[in-house]
Structure 1
Amino acid sequence: MGQVTSPVYAEKGMWDFRGSDTKQFTHCFHIYPAMMIPQIARELFVRYGVEGGLLFDPYCGTGTSLVESRLAGMNSIGTDINPTARMIANSKTTDYDLEMLDQYIEHTVLELESNIESITEYSSFIEPEYVTWERLEDWFPSRSIAEISYVLGKINEIEYDNASLFMRVALSECLRLVSYQRNGEFKLYRIPPEKRNEYYEPLLPKLLNRIQRNRRGLGQYYSNVDNSTTVKICDFNTVHDEGREYFPSIPGVDLVITSPPYGDSGTTVAYAQFSWLSNVWLGLDDKAPGALDRELMGGRRNDVGKFGCPEMDHAIEAIADEDGKRASEVMNFYNEYLLSIQNVASQIKKGGHVCFVVGNRTVKGTQLPTDQFTAWAFEQEGLEHITTYIREIPNKRMPSKNSPSNKAGVKLSTIVNEYIVVCRKN
């Protein structure tokens, strides 16, 4: 599967994949914050994959590595505590009866096209289980609430579960687009009140566009996927749980490919806020965005001392000199990250590899050396750090200010590089 390189920053430029199609196959399903591009996973499978072996993604999100595992001939297990992410990952990786799927798509679309224009009031529909009409009125025009309710009702009538899943994912992506949500925002920010009275975006054209796009991607996927492979998607939190009951043997994982959060959800990527409309409309979860954020990594406060990783300890000390509260929040995140790594490491068999795609964020003017901390944490669990590949994020337009040596405390305005940390259990 390829030779590993020396344990230094390696192959800068080779991992950027500028101009690559990142929406091939079922990767086209549903936008989501901070998605790892499939080309990274694909190359890592070439180098470190084991045909017929087992991949584990402990922060699987919408399933990029899981999709690629089936294309690479590996079985996979992924876990994520966000219900919307798990739903999307399931839809991307499940086995469909394509003929039956097409029949249900055609039947449902015909009904929607025939009737949705007449749906303008939501009073005759059943209120969703996890949210009130009044709460939804804060986020949608009344006509949009009616249209969503009608579409969801028709989807719920579908008797083939996988077709219902397929349609729910297409609808989920449309919810933000017809809401008062501001364009280009992952967090829950609405357009100004004075603009809401005139606001209305028809649901059906957006829904049909996503149904057609996703069906094309699914067809491409089925032309290339290894049908002997399996995917299992779980909801355990690796901060607190090894998930032993989900694995065929312990240790039994040949390869980990994952992209963990850059930092706590409240101050970096707002996964919970992004997913809230889908979670409540589709009956996936009744938690408020803040409650789910607190369950995500770094969301709870802990009393933690120094880690023993000099680079990270020095960085946190520098932040503490500027803001003690932020330093405590940063330490909380890395403490839970360390606990998660300990649980992940316990699942890896001898000779197995770990590939963590991480970003070194900046807090209070200090760069946090997440790549070095990741390598150090796995070394504490008996793994060997093989190499760290550098990737420049192509859609970042700001000039890089960080040093290839990545020393703690280097000033940086934004994350412009990702680091692919590779370790091996010997």
Structure 2
Amino acid sequence: MSITFPFENIPVSEEWVFKNVKSTQQWTHGYHRYPAKFLPNLVKKIIEDYTDQGDTIADLFAGCGTTLVESKIHGRKSVGVDINPVAQLITDVKTNPIRENLLISKYKIILAEIESFRPEDFQQIEKHDRIDYWFYPNEKYKIAFLYQIITELQTTKKVKNFFLVALSNILKNCSKWLQSSTKPQVDPDKVPTDVFKTFNKQVKSMLKKNQLFFEALEDLKFTNIESKLVLEDARKTSIKSATINAIITSPPYVTSYEYADLHQLTGYWFDYLNNLREFRKNFIGTFYSYGESLDSHSAIAQRAINDLKDKNLRTAREVANYFSDMHDVANEMYRILKDGGKSFVVIGNTTFKDVKIQSAEIFAELLDLSGFEIEDVIKRSIPHKLIPTIRDKKTGKFTTINNKNSKQIYPEEYIIIAKKENGNH
């Protein structure tokens, strides 16, 4: 089809809106908070409408594994790619449910150990300096204690990781991090929740979800369906050429999040990172990337970059970096897909410093340049507040509706369906 520009003229498709659907609580989806989480029902519908059993599905921005969980429960093999070790940990646990009796026996050991906790045993603990920035001593000692117990458990890595995910998800509640903020911000008035009680509640919730997922996979005989997340760059993966039937992915939003910053609590506690600035450089489309160029393969992106250049050079470079990275990602998608395979890219447009950035149209253009045939573009409104939707017009930072400079962004998003016609590109 020829692409209709701009995409905002496309009518909203109600069957893709999923009003009043709490699919994030199904299966293991709710194990861990994650910014801009992919809506499971969206992935579910794509899998059911466009793929067949026996297909292999890939997600090059796998995040906390929504595509992989849905692929497994639908009997599709899947491979995810993400640069973030926290994403890998969460996804491994979410896609591999464990026999309940094994988890409960190890959980009883942890509970028994908690009885013997003595804060003075952990006062000399050596951890990254930023741990003291984010945590009061009382919570710090208890978290250190839990981390030690879990990592020293006599059990498999899979079981240890289950409890590490539970610990990871409570870190924000037990820290000084402003609870209502996705971005790193200290709340001087916050009273952190009790570490042991919060951990206990989190584990109990995960045990229930684990069991439901385990039983469902057993009933369907999908327990051994392959599902893995590799710690790699979406621009250059180890996935073999022409081996994937469908790609279902939602790229990070341009100028939206510093994912590295958002997972720093787990990063520091679990020794995934030492230097945040260096860690950031691995992430796509960040102003910490090396690129200085203001050129883009996309004509639509180029117009936005030129408009931004006059307002803020650093932001213009950041946007140019992002779309340069996305051009490489589009080429990688084309390489790994089988002939006739389809790519489903879920993405929204935004405005930054009063410049409209048509990310969806730009990505469609990049897919077209990579050799894809754009088959369809579906527009959906976002009913749930899964991502911050309000930005300050002056600073460009996320804010609240009470801010007089505020304006809403990403109230809608698009599903770009692109087909690889043949391998002659």
- What is the CA-CA distance between 1:93 and the residue it aligns to? 0.7
* Aligned residues of 1:82 and 1:272 also touching (Cα < 8 A): yes
Tell me the alpha carbon deviations over residues 264-313 of structure 1, each in whole angstroms, 9 at most, x when there is no partner: 4xxx223111211101112223232x332222112214243543533322
**2:417 alignment partner AA:** V
Q: Which residue of 1 aligns with 2:168?
A: 172
> CA RMSD of the aligned region, Å?
2.3
1:115 paired with 2:138, answer no
Calculate the TM-score normalised by the size of structure 1.
0.86
Deviation of 1:138 after TM superposition, in Å, equals 2.0
Q: Secondary structure at the match of 2:116?
A: helix
SS of 2:321 mapped into structure 1: helix
CA distance in 1, matches of 2:41, 2:359: 22
* 1:374 counterpart = 2:363: yes
Which region of structure 1 is more displaced relative to structure 2, 155-164 or 306-315?
306-315
**Greater displacement, 158-167 / 58-67:** 158-167
- Partner SS state of residue 59, structure 1: coil
Residue of structure 1 aligned with 2:282, choices 265, 276, 295: 295
Q: Residues of 1 paired with 2:140 and 2:312: CA distance?
A: 44
Counterpart of 2:419 in 1: which secondary structure? strand
Q: Does 1:155 align with 2:155?
A: no
Q: Which of 187, 203, 206 in structure 1 is aligned with 2:183?
A: 187
Q: Distance in 1 between matches of 2:192 and 2:17?
A: 39
Q: Deviations over 1:30-72 (max 9, x none)?
A: 1011111100100000122131121111110010000001011
TM-score for both structures, normalised by structure 2:
0.86
Preserved contact between residue 83 and residue 285 of structure 1 (Cα < 8 Å) = no
2:249 aligned residue: 258
> Where in structure 1 do 4 or more consecutive aligned residues deviate above 6 Å?
none
Question: Is this contact kept in 1: 2:298–2:365, CA < 8 A?
Answer: yes
For 1:257-406, list aligned pairs within 5 A: 257-264=248-255, 268-288=256-276, 290-299=277-286, 300-304=289-293, 306-395=295-384
Note the 1:239-258 alignment, pairs <5 A: 239=235, 241-243=236-238, 247=239, 249-258=240-249
**389-398 or 270-279, larger mean C-alpha shift:** 389-398
1:124 Cα offset (Å): 5.4
Q: Which SS does the other structure have where 2:171 is aligned?
A: helix
The match for 2:234 is 238
Question: Structure 2: how far apart are the matches of 1:123 and 1:161?
Answer: 24
> Could you tell me which amino acid in structure 1 is paired with residue 148 of structure 2?
G
Unaligned runs of 5+ in 1: 400-411
Q: Is the 8 A contact 2:254 2:359 kept in 1?
A: no
Residues in 2 aligned to 1:16 and 1:86: alpha-carbon distance in whole angstroms:
29
The answer to whether the 8 A contact 1:301-1:329 is kept is no
Q: Which amino acid aligns with 1:137?
A: D
Structure 2: distance between partners of 1:62 and 1:47 = 23
Counterpart in the other structure of 2:52: 50
Change (3 A) 1:220 1:7: farther
Closer, same or farther in 2 for the Cα pair 1:332/1:398, shift >3 Å? closer
Superposition deviation, residue 229 in structure 1: 0.8
Structure 2, unpaired ranges of 5+: 5-9, 391-406
Indicate the residue corresponding to 2:126 in structure 1. Answer: 127
- CA 1:253–1:104 in 2, change beyond 3 Å: closer, same or farther? same
